[in-house]
C-alpha cells in the first residue's frame, strides 16, 4: 500500500514470501531505497569470514547498492557491504527470503537469510543534494598525529606533546628519521601568515637553546602569503582534508585498516 501523506514511500507487510520478494526485487531493479525489518541471520565471506546468528534486524539497501545490517540498538551497522554490488533476492525452501549482495573486487559476499519479515519499506524518487560539513577539531587532529606521526612525515617520532620552549608551548616536539629536532604546529583552519610567524618564533627560541631544529606546519590549507613565507623561512607545510580524515579515522577504528595517509600531503620539504 502507498501511504497517502508520504508519496515517496511504499510499505509492504504480510506473510506471503512471493509477494514480499517481488516487492523487494522491484525496488532493487529500480535502485530504490529499501528497508527490511525482520528476523534474520547474516553470513559474510571475503577478506575474512563472519557469522551472525538469528535476531531481529533492520536491513537497509541504499540507492547505490550499499547494504547495512543494524541491530535494534547501537548506531553502527553490525554488517555492511559497500555500493556497486550485485544484489539478488529469492524465496528459500523454508519460505523465508534470502538477500545476497556480491561485490566483485575485492570479492565479498554478504548473505542475509530472513526467517520472518515484519515490514518492507521502499523509498522511491529520493534525492539529497545537501552538502554535509563535518570537521575534525584541532584536538582530534593532534590525537591522530600523536598516534600516527608518519602521516605527517615518514620516520617521524613524537617525543612530547605541548612542549614548552621558554614562554611558548608548541603542539609537538618530535625527532625525524635523522634524529633532528622537529617542532610541529597543527591548525584546524586555513593557515595565514600569523600561523607561520608563530611557528617561526618557536624555532628561533629553540635555536637560542642550541637545538638543531626545523618546523612543520600542519593545516587544512594555506593562504598564498603563508605558503610563500613558509618556503622562505624553511618551514615544511603539510596540508590535510579534515572532513575526509575524520571519516577515514572512524572507519579505521572500526575495520583496523590503514587508509589515512592519502589525506596528508607534504609540501616544500626543506
Q: What is the DSSP string of 145-201?
A: HHH-GGGTSTT-EEEEEEEEETTEEEEEEEE-TT--EEEEEE-SS-B-HHHHHHHHH
Note the pLDDT of residue 170. Answer: 96
Regarding whether 79 and 142 lie in a shared domain, the answer is no
Regarding whether 114 and 49 lie in a shared domain, the answer is yes
Regarding whether 263 and 151 lie in a shared domain, the answer is yes
Per-residue pLDDT of 205-236, as tens digits, reads 999 999 989 999 999 899 999 999 999 999 99
All three cell numbers of 3:
501511504
Tell whether the model's pLDDT for residue 269 goes beyond 50. Answer: no
Averaged pLDDT for residues 61-66? 94
Per-residue pLDDT of 156-170, as tens digits, reads 999 999 999 988 999
Regarding whether 153 and 87 lie in a shared domain, the answer is no
Q: How buried is 266 (Cβ within 10 angstroms: 0-12 exposed, 13-18 middle, 19+ buried)?
A: middle
Tell whether the model's pLDDT for residue 177 goes beyond 60. Answer: yes
Let me know: does 141 contact 242? Beta carbons within 8 Å.
yes
Let me know: does 149 contact 168? Beta carbons within 8 Å.
no
Q: How many domains does the chain divide into? A: 2
Regarding whether 262 and 142 lie in a shared domain, the answer is yes
Angle at 176 between CA 172 and CA 182, to 5 degrees: 40
Let me know: does 74 contact 82? Beta carbons within 8 Å.
no
Domain that residue 145 falls in:
138-267
Within-domain flag for 196: yes
Where does a domain end: 123, 154, 186? 123
Regarding whether 93 and 13 lie in a shared domain, the answer is yes
Model pTM above 0.95: no
Regarding whether 263 and 143 lie in a shared domain, the answer is yes
Within-domain flag for 2: no
Within-domain flag for 81: yes
Q: How many CB atoms lie within 10 A of CB 24?
A: 26
266: pLDDT confidence band, cut at 50, 70 and 90? low
Within-domain flag for 110: yes
Note the pLDDT of residue 1. Answer: 43
Let me know: does 213 contact 204? Beta carbons within 8 Å.
no
CATH no. for residue 158? 3.40.1350.10
Helical packing angle, 224-233 and 193-208, nearest 10°: 20
- Distance of alpha carbon 154 from alpha carbon 47, whole angstroms: 28
Within-domain flag for 161: yes
Regarding whether 106 and 162 lie in a shared domain, the answer is no
Averaged pLDDT for residues 234-243? 87
Amino acid at each position: 500500500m502507498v501511504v497517502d501523506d508520504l508519496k515517496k514511500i511504499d510499505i509492504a507487510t504480510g506473510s506471503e514470501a512471493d509477494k514480499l520478494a517481488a516487492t523487494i526485487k522491484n525496488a532493487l531493479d529500480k535502485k530504490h531505497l529499501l528497508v527490511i525489518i525482520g528476523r534474520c541471520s547474516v553470513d559474510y565471506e571475503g577478506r575474512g569470514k563472519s557469522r551472525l546468528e538469528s535476531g531481529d534486524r533492520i536491513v537497509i539497501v541504499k540507492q547505490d547498492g550499499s547494504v547495512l545490517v543494524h541491530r535494534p540498538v547501537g548506531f553502527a551497522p553490525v554488517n555492511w557491504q559497500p555500493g556497486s554490488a550485485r544484489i539478488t533476492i529469492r524465496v528459500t525452501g523454508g519460505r523465508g527470503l534470502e538477500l545476497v549482495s556480491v561485490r566483485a573486487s575485492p570479492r565479498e559476499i554478504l548473505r542475509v537469510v530472513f526467517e520472518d519479515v515484519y515490514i518492507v519499506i521502499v523509498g522511491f524518487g529520493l534525492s539529497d543534494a545537501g552538502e554535509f560539513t563535518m570537521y575534525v577539531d584541532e584536538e582530534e587532529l593532534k590525537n591522530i598525529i600523536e598516534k600516527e606521526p608518519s602521516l605527517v612525515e615518514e620516520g617521524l617520532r613524537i617525543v612530547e606533546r605541548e612542549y614548552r620552549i621558554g614562554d611558548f608551548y608548541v603542539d609537538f616536539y618530535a625527532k625525524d628519521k635523522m634524529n633532528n629536532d622537529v617542532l610541529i604546529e597543527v591548525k584546524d583552519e586555513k593557515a595565514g601568515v600569523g600561523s607561520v610567524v608563530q611557528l617561526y618564533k618557536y624555532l628561533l627560541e629553540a635555536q637560542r637553546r642550541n637545538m638543531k631544529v626545523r618546523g612543520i606546519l600542519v593545516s587544512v590549507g594555506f593562504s598564498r602569503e603563508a605558503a610563500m613565507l613558509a618556503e622562505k623561512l624553511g618551514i615544511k607545510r603539510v596540508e590535510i582534508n579534515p572532513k575526509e580524515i575524520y571519516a577515514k579515522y572512524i572507519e579505521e577504528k572500526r575495520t583496523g585498516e590503514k587508509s589515512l595517509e592519502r589525506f596528508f600531503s607534504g609540501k616544500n620539504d626543506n
